[in-house]
Amino acid sequence: MKALIIISFIFTLLSGCAGVAPINLGVHEEQLAPCPNSPNCVSSFAQDERKIEAIKHLDSLKQARTKLLDVLKQFENAQIITDQERYIRCEFTSRIFGFVDDVEFLIQSDLIHVRSASRLGYSDLGVNRERIEAIRQAFTTQ
């Protein structure tokens, strides 16, 4: 019985840990915010192990944006927060504990720069990198 109470308490505690969106999100001097000093982030602007390739495209800016939005809408746990001409931000929420990752896209003439970062914790066990690769795959096959 005690174990059940403890597990319920931990679940309740963790499920309310969505965190608050960082204030540095968005486009600053034609770049997305740098990753924090933890391995739970990937960015096409990073120059270290958190580096991930931008998504290449041959579409117009408008077509690339529309295509990217269509891809993001395929993910059940994604909520689009900001939808601008060249910038998209969405939140991906984990199913079990409700952890939120902030995912950003900066659309340029032939590239879509990306940044995906967990709000809380230190390690993400590669979830952010896997997510961006899944988005890239869906984008290139659409």
Other Cβ atoms less than 10 A from the Cβ of 90: the count is: 22
Classified by CATH at the fold level, domain 2-141 comes out as TATA-Binding Protein (3.30.310)
Domain ranges of the chain: 2-141
Beta bridge partners of 79: 91
Sequence length of the chain is 142
Residue-by-residue pLDDT tens, the chain, 142 positions? 454 333 333 443 444 456 888 888 999 999 999 999 999 999 999 999 999 999 999 999 999 999 999 999 999 999 999 999 999 999 999 988 899 999 999 999 999 999 999 999 899 999 999 999 999 999 999 8
Q: For residues 118 and 42, give the distance between their C-alpha atoms in angstroms, rounded to a whole number.
A: 10
Q: For residues 29 and 117, give the distance between their C-alpha atoms in angstroms, rounded to a whole number.
A: 20
Contact 102, 22 (CB under 8 A): yes
- The pTM of this model reads 0.85
